[in-house]
């Protein structure tokens, strides 16, 4: 679920962006009393996502509009499948068309891409696929919901949600051991301490310092296998850095605990969804 306050803010901001000057075309060509039905249809295979967002856009514009969900979020559908329907004042439907489609095309694209990554894991694998903070500013909650609809998991939602020591933190703190020690001393007792490492010596230093999670950044295959052996039973292992779909099967087979994939959100193509509007007889 997307928190209602987050959803409302995102939708109001998007509608203001598109409609601050009104809609000259709709006002000029469509009578106020014209009624219509709009049917959102998948133009290609996809994982549907964004039913609540689709509905909220139209209801925010016009509470009298009726919106129906035809498929559940997370459902895999073929081209030609109807996803959602909106019925009521034609002007209101046309006002919200682009904003609603922008949201659901983006979210369905993320869910579809995520499903591909999850499906690439070997049968029975315990490896988790997660997103990262490489999200569209202001839309993180929505995009992370789409990742969950695709079957994957979320990494930390914000900087305050967990300790993740990266290269610049290590440099500023004076080294791996110092960074972990300072995090241990200052972080809440409920927080795990995770640190990003770029080499086996850095990994050894992180393990010796007592890190709970080690993030292996851009490790070559041989170094990755050695790292997994050294970390086994001592820390959870996350792999990140240019992780492609083709590598997921290998990483799952090796027993990596977590694979974080920025590509789930930062560069995913939008799904192709159209809103077919039909005028209703008076």
Quote the percentage of the chain above a pLDDT of 90. 98
Catalytic one of 156, 166, 182, 192 = 166
Q: Which two tokens stand for residue 238?
A: 């996350």
Catalytic one of 134, 192, 230, 247 = 134
**Domain enclosing residue 92, as ranges:** 4-118+268-279
Active site residue 148: no
Comparing CA positions, the residue from 277, 271, 276 lying closest to residue 102 is 271
pLDDT band, residue 2 (cuts 50/70/90): confident
Q: Which helix (H) or strand (E) holds 130?
A: strand 128-130
DSSP state of 246: G
In a domain? residue 142: no
- pLDDT at position 86: 98
In a shared domain, residues 23 and 69 = yes
pLDDT 10s digits, 207-264: 999 999 999 999 999 999 999 999 999 999 999 998 999 999 999 999 999 999 999 9
CATH of the domain at 24: 3.90.1170.20
Provide the domain count of the chain. Answer: 2
Active site residue 196: yes
- pLDDT at position 184: 93
In a domain? residue 172: yes
- Dist. CA 167–CA 173, nearest whole Å: 10
Active site residue 204: no
- pLDDT at position 13: 96
- pLDDT at position 242: 85
In a shared domain, residues 29 and 73 = yes
CATH of the domain at 214: 3.20.20.70
In a shared domain, residues 11 and 113 = yes
Active site residue 192: no
In a domain? residue 124: no
pLDDT 10s digits, 12-25: 999 999 999 999 99
pLDDT 10s digits, 133-142: 999 999 999 9
Residues with Cβ within 8 Å of residue 219, at least 6 apart in sequence: 227, 239, 241
Catalytic one of 98, 116, 184, 234 = 98
pLDDT 10s digits, 90-129: 999 999 999 999 999 999 999 999 999 999 999 999 999 9
In a shared domain, residues 59 and 83 = yes
In a domain? residue 138: no
In a domain? residue 146: no
In a domain? residue 147: no
Active site residue 166: yes
Question: What is the chain's mean pLDDT, rounded?
Answer: 96
Q: Is the pLDDT of residue 282 over 80?
A: no
């Amino acid at each position: 679920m997307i928190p209602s306050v987050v959803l409302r803010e995102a939708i109001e901001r998007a509608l203001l962006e598109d409609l601050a000057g009104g809609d000259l075309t709709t006002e000029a060509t469509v009578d106020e009393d014209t009624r219509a039905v709009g049917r959102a249809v998948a133009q290609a295979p996809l994982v549907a996502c964004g039913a609540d967002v689709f509905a909220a856009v139209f209801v925010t514009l016009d509470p009298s509009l009726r919106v129906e969900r035809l498929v559940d979020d997370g459902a895999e559908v073929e081209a030609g499948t109807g996803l959602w329907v909106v019925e009521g004042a034609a002007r209101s439907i046309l006002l919200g068309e682009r904003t609603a489609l922008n949201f659901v095309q983006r979210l369905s694209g993320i869910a579809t891409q995520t499903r591909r990554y999850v499906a690439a894991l070997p049968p029975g694998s315990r490896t988790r696929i997660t997103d990262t903070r490489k999200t569209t500013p202001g839309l993180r909650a929505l995009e992370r919901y789409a990742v969950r609809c695709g079957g994957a998991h979320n990494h930390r939602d914000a900087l305050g949600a967990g300790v993740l020591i990266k290269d610049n933190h290590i440099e500023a703190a004076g080294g791996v051991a110092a960074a972990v020690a300072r995090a241990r001393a200052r972080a809440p007792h409920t927080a795990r301490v995770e640190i990003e490492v770029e080499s086996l010596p850095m990994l050894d230093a992180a393990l010796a310092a007592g890190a709970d999670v080690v993030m292996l950044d851009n490790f070559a295959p041989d170094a990755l296998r050695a790292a997994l052996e050294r970390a086994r039973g001592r820390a959870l292992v996350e792999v990140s850095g240019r992780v492609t779909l083709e590598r997921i099967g290998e990483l799952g087979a090796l027993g990596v605990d977590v694979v974080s994939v920025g590509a789930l959100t930062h560069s995913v193509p939008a799904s192709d969804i159209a809103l077919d509007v039909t005028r209703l007889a008076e």
